[in-house]
Amino acid sequence: ADEELFSGTLQENLTIGNKSITLKELNQICAIVGLDDYVRSQQDGYHSFLDPQGRKLSYNIVQKILLARCLVIKPSLLLLEDDWSGIEVSVRERVINYLTDRSQDFTMIVVTNNEDFASRCNRIIHFVKGSVKIPNSSE
């Protein structure tokens, strides 16, 4: 997903115009990423208008909207950089649980320094001083 918000409603920013995404799916993903309280706090909920580039929103909320945008479209390949410094620990744990749930039907490539997150992944590749290191592998 693009790394910025655009002028439009919260729902438009989350779904990028994909009409097949249901309200139930939006609610589920927003609960996982900790955006549900924000949605409830807005008078118009998902129909609340967002300023271009997310002006007037906290960094935390923008991060959650962008993460929810990535997840709600149900990608077959998900590329993530684990820089969730603005996201609460409890939310981060929920997101990691969701992402590493074996029932998820996507391939995820994540760049992370979080050892707990990495340990839950099927395969770990380390980049050390320009070289690729694959633990427990002869590669």
Selected residue with higher pLDDT from 74 and 53: 74
pLDDT tens digits along 54-95: 778 998 999 999 999 999 999 999 998 877 777 888 999 999
The pLDDT of residue 1 is 47
CATH class of 8-133: alpha beta
Residue ranges covered by each domain of the chain: 8-133
CA distance 89 to 133: 29
Residues with Cβ within 8 Å of residue 75, at least 6 apart in sequence: 106
Portion of the chain with pLDDT greater than 70, in percent:
95
137 pLDDT band (50/70/90 cuts)?
A: low
pLDDT digits (tens, 9 = 90+) for 91-127: 999 999 999 998 988 999 998 888 888 889 888 888 8
27-to-35, 82, 121, 130 alpha-carbon distances in Å: 9, 23, 26, 42
pTM of the shown model: 0.85
